[in-house]
């Protein structure tokens, strides 16, 4: 009987010690406050590439006629890009080929009028001085439409890395200011959340104008392309 009571006492003491330790840990967690702040930064890079989409589209009575005419215009555009401006094959890629029937409604009935064929090329320009001449030259071709010009930089990955570093520094500066104002000391990082893109997309030209009065001049203002990073960081407060 005495041994049994002694074992119960020891077991209860162990439970008490465990409960006390858990309470102490919980109180320690509550005592250590946290602060969550956001930070952001932007880093610019000089654009060194431009791109746009060229689309040739024609409607004829048959699919063959429409495709033949469209292909001929695409081939003419490729010849201009390669022979007149020295673009490489890798900078001229086919992005779309399609044929759709054309209809009109006559006396309440849908009447087939022909076939419309389209082909699109994605064009990349690495010589920035040739953007205007190329864009203007291609705009003179019959049946051709051009998308707006987009700018990018081969340095965007570096710019994004620098922007992320700047965003973390911005967040820490804010956290230190708040902690000092609250009479606390900034502790370690508990969590970082990044809302910035993993890569930077092509950036649209801010201003572009085109003289369509019989000549092939295109004027534009390139400006810089910008990588932006945003982070949210949680710190402990001591």
Q: In this structure, are 144 and 158 located in the same domain?
A: no
pTM, two decimals, is 0.66
Least Cα distance to 119 among 62, 65, 57 occurs for 57
Q: In this structure, are 139 and 56 located in the same domain?
A: yes
- φ, ψ of residue 32 to 5 degrees: the values are -85, 105
Q: In this structure, are 203 and 111 located in the same domain?
A: no
Instruction: Give the tens place of pLDDT for each residue, 155-190.
Output: 988 999 999 999 999 999 999 999 999 999 999 999
Q: In this structure, are 55 and 147 located in the same domain?
A: yes
For tokens 């589209």, what's the residue? 57
pLDDT at res. 26: 41
Q: In this structure, are 5 and 99 located in the same domain?
A: no
pLDDT at res. 213: 41
Instruction: Give the tens place of pLDDT for each residue, 128-163.
Output: 889 989 999 999 999 999 998 888 889 988 999 999
> Between residues 198 and 23, which one has the greater pLDDT?
198
Q: In this structure, are 41 and 54 located in the same domain?
A: no
CATH of residue 213: 3.30.110.170
d(C-alpha 68, C-alpha 66), whole Å: 6
Percentage above 90 pLDDT, the chain: 62
> Between residues 231 and 213, which one has the greater pLDDT?
231
Q: In this structure, are 176 and 203 located in the same domain?
A: yes
Q: In this structure, are 55 and 110 located in the same domain?
A: yes
For tokens 């007149």, what's the residue? 84
Range of the domain at 204: 34-48+154-238
| Number of domains within the chain | 3
Q: In this structure, are 190 and 74 located in the same domain?
A: no
> Between residues 94 and 218, which one has the greater pLDDT?
94
CATH of residue 121: 3.30.70.2970
Q: In this structure, are 144 and 82 located in the same domain?
A: yes
Of 95, 125, 152, the residue that ends a domain is 152
Q: In this structure, are 43 and 54 located in the same domain?
A: no
Of 126, 152, 178, the residue that ends a domain is 152
Q: In this structure, are 58 and 13 located in the same domain?
A: no
Of 136, 152, 168, the residue that ends a domain is 152
């Amino acid at each position: 009987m005495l041994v049994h009571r002694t074992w119960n006492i020891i077991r209860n003491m162990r439970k008490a010690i465990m409960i006390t330790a858990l309470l102490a840990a919980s109180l320690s967690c509550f005592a250590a406050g946290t602060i969550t702040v956001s930070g952001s930064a932007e880093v610019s890079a000089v654009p060194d590439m431009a791109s746009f989409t060229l689309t040739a589209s024609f409607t004829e009575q048959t699919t063959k006629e429409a495709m033949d005419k469209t292909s001929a215009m695409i081939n003419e555009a490729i010849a201009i890009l390669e022979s007149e401006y020295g673009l490489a094959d890798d900078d001229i890629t086919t992005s779309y080929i399609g044929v759709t029937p054309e209809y009109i409604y006559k006396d309440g009935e849908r009447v087939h009028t022909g076939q419309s064929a389209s082909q699109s090329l994605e064009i990349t320009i690495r010589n920035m001085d040739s953007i205007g001449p190329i864009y203007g030259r291609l705009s003179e071709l019959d049946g051709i439409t051009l998308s707006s010009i987009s700018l990018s930089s081969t340095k965007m990955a570096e710019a994004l890395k620098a922007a992320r570093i700047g965003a973390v520094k911005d967040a820490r500066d804010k956290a230190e200011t708040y902690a000092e104002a609250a009479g606390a000391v900034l502790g370690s990082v508990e969590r970082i959340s990044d809302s910035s893109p993993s890569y930077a997309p092509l950036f649209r030209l801010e201003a572009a104008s085109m003289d369509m009065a019989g000549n092939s001049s295109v004027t534009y203002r390139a400006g810089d392309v910008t990588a932006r990073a945003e982070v949210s960081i949680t710190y402990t407060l001591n």
